[in-house]
Amino acid sequence: MSVNGLQDRNGKVEEYLQLLRLLASELECAMRAIARNSLPEFEESVRRQETLSTRVTDLAGELKVTSQRGTSNLLPHTNDALTQQIRVASATLQALNRQYGSLLQHSSRSVALMVSLFESFKGNLQEGTGSRSKYQTWSCQV
């Protein structure tokens, strides 16, 4: 691989690292928006996540093609510190992604329960299926 090619590749690897960090920051931002019940902030964060994710995917593909042509590894051999930073950023992003997924799943269940509660207030009681009792009540405390 030529010197210019290696510099270009290292620049892409550094951009990849930066994008991983930005994506992790966006996940944190989205979780804060959910906690604050701020739909506009959440929607904007999701838009930014989509943009960042697209660029990360594209860049990873470019780096993979480059590595198949000239080197045997996606990460540069010459900069172990950069490689370690990418591993740390990736692990952080994976952990945040698991938390974010759990939060979204919990929020979805909460919304479904609230919809059911509001429907019961309107007199639209739905009977459960399966072995559970068909008579359920809601209790709210203020």
Secondary structure, 3-state, 30-79: HHHHHHCCCHHHHHHHHHHHHHHHHHHHHHHHHHHHHHHHHCCCCCCCCC
Domain ranges of the chain: 11-65+78-109
CA distance 96 to 56: 16
**Nearest Cα to 48, choosing from 56, 37, 58?**
56
Provide the pLDDT for residue 99.
93
From first to last of the 142 residues of the chain, give the pLDDT tens digit: 555 666 788 889 999 999 999 999 999 999 999 989 899 999 999 999 999 999 999 999 988 887 776 654 444 454 688 889 999 999 999 999 999 998 888 887 777 777 877 777 777 665 555 555 444 444 444 3
Distances (CA, A) of 65 to 32, 49, 70: 37, 24, 9
Two tokens, residue 37 = 């019940």
The distance of Cα 12 from the centroid of its chain, to the nearest Å, equals: 22
Query: What are the two backbone dihedrals, phi and then psi, of residue 65, each rounded to the nearest 5 degrees?
Result: -65, -45
Residue-by-residue DSSP string for 101-140 = HHHHHHHHHHHHHHHHHHHHHTT------SSS-S------
Q: What is the pLDDT of residue 118?
A: 77
Q: With the C-alpha atoms ordered 15, 18, 22, 23, is the resulting torsion angle positive or negative?
A: positive
pTM above 0.85, yes or no: no
